[in-house]
Structure 1
Amino acid sequence: MVLGALGRPVPPIHQVRRGVQAAGGYVETPEGIRGLIYAGAVTWLAGQGIPARILLEQSAQDVARLVEAPARLFIASVHPGIRRPETPPPARGGHLVLVFGLDAAGALRLHNPSGDSPATQADARLPVAQFQDFFAGRGILVG
């Protein structure tokens, strides 16, 4: 998602996964691949010439301020229930979305490729306060 959002060519997803895994971004266990390890993802992004850093203890309002700047993206840890934002989540985190800006009303704009409808996948919009319900307070600032 980051490469495409930055206007770069997007290689096949498994090629990206292998690169991120080689940089320590994924660990394979007997049960399968463990979730994204931020430090490895940041290392892989740096290898692509893309500056990135891990941010912890952030609020949704912090994310809104961060993505106001042009060419700044935020890979956010959210509850997967963000696919149906009308239903409050039982927890926060465990799923990643790419926050890439604000709309005219101040809602966060995000890409969630695993959304269950077009409205929850590409350029989904969510008010900052509602995003906070799903947001784990951590992620990767890109740019």
Structure 2
Amino acid sequence: MGLARTGPGDVTGELPASADPRWSAYGAGTAEEYDWWSWRLCGMACLRMCLAHWRLPVPTAMELAAGCVTAGAYVRREDGGLDGLIYAPFARHVEENWPLTAECRPRLSVAEIPQLLTEGRLLMLSVHPSVRELDPSPPGRGGHLVLAVGATPDALLIHNPSGFPGETQEYARVPWADLDRFYAGRGVVLGLRGDDGDGA
């Protein structure tokens, strides 16, 4: 499964996203548009990875974001901010547009995750962004979406759109003992319609 990440090459935030020469590859009309969206597209990166996994056409991140705005899964505020990803309209949008199942799970226990992965599902999970460093004292839980793609007895394996390339981006290990520090207990469970979920 290839990682379809969003955001600039410098995930530390030291460089503006508009300085990324690859901004047009994300489907943005301008570097400024990409700059605004780049830190808000972790959910679209996860969706792109799911589509690629099940060998479906993969639109650009910006095309997916526009569809989510129309569907009410992203809501642009008058103050210039963005609400979302809002799981319920997102799940409906996915099921209406792709041959996938998408279940909004405002409560998704850690105990359920290994079995869902064994069944071939992919899980978009809300975690704190500092999961990429396994911060011993994160300031909270949630706020960033990663894609759970596998499990071992000791750890959850995730693809993290804002992980460090070659380190914590693809198949990053999050020990089960550490997951609760970051995980908000909610997410979206995706599968291939008419299948056990495993399209690979």
Q: Report the TM-score, using the length of structure 2 for normalisation.
A: 0.65
Q: Does residue 1:119 correspond to 2:167, yes or no?
A: yes
Rg larger in structure: 2
Q: Secondary structure at the match of 1:119?
A: coil
1:60 pairs with one of 110, 114, 134: 110
Q: Does residue 1:83 correspond to 2:132, yes or no?
A: yes
Aligned to 1:44: 93
Check conservation: 2:107, 2:187, Cα contact below 8 A: no
* Structure 1 position 86, deviation (Å): 4.2
- Higher RCO (CA < 8 A, seq sep 6+): 1
Check conservation: 1:109, 1:124, Cα contact below 8 A: yes
Aligned to 1:13: 61
**Structure 2 CA distance for partners of 1:4 and 1:14, relative to 1, 3 Å:** same
Distance in 2 between the 1:109 and 1:123 partners?
5
Gaps of 5+ in 2: 1-48, 192-200
Q: Which has the higher strand share?
A: 1
For 1:49, give the aligned amino acid.
P
Check conservation: 1:21, 1:40, Cα contact below 8 A: no
Q: Report the TM-score, using the length of structure 1 for normalisation.
A: 0.88
Q: Does residue 1:99 correspond to 2:148, yes or no?
A: yes
* Structure 1 position 12, deviation (Å): 0.8
* Structure 1 position 85, deviation (Å): 0.7
Gaps of 5+ in 1: none
* Structure 1 position 92, deviation (Å): 0.6
Q: CA RMSD in A?
A: 1.6
Identity rate of aligned residues, in percent?
A: 39
* Structure 1 position 18, deviation (Å): 0.8
Count of aligned pairs: 141
> 4+ residue runs of structure 1 moved beyond 3 angstroms?
none
